[in-house]
Amino acid sequence: MAESDWDTVTVLRKKGPTAAQAKSKQAILAAQRRGEDVETSKKWAAGQNKQHSITKNTAKLDRETEELHHDRVTLEVGKVIQQGRQSKGLTQKDLATKINEKPQVIADYESGRAIPNNQVLGKIERAIDERPRSAPVLRAL
């Protein structure tokens, strides 16, 4: 009782909500009813290994009113990759395993859907001993 004094005041408070409770739908609705600002954001690629992100500013592209888009790999590049892969007797999966990429990446490059990435193209070139980027049409990449 030596700590108690007439001049000191002891304040007892409840603990604040835990992180899981603060994120619950009930807590969000209660905060909105009180008129507090509620910020919600979605996690992007949270549990995935995103190795090759698009380096161009996609938000800037979205804000532009002109018809802007990311350049894609041309079909000539896809054909050179496909012919080189087949001449080596590799499937798309084998080539992807050889260069440590996903098979979908190889499929995208061969079909012309991929956004050119020099690291991936370099690995493909070394694996198939072809130079898909050296064609005159492709020097712009």
Distance CA 81, CA 42 (A): 37
DSSP 38: -
Q: Which residues contact 91 (CB under 8 A, 6 or more apart)?
A: 85
In a domain, 70, yes or no: no
pLDDT at 41: 73
Q: What is the pLDDT of residues 87-118, one digit of tens each?
A: 999 999 999 999 999 999 999 999 998 988 88
Q: Does residue 86 belong to any structural domain of this protein?
A: yes
With tokens 């380096």, the residue in question is 55
- The overall average pLDDT reported for the chain is 79
Boundaries of domain holding 116 = 75-134
Number of domains in the chain: 1
Overall average pLDDT of the 77-83 stretch: 90
pTM of the shown model: 0.50
The model's pLDDT over 1-56, given as tens digits with 9 standing for 90+, comes to 556 677 877 778 777 778 777 778 888 888 889 888 887 776 666 666 666 665 55
User: CB count, 10 Å around CB of 105?
Assistant: 20
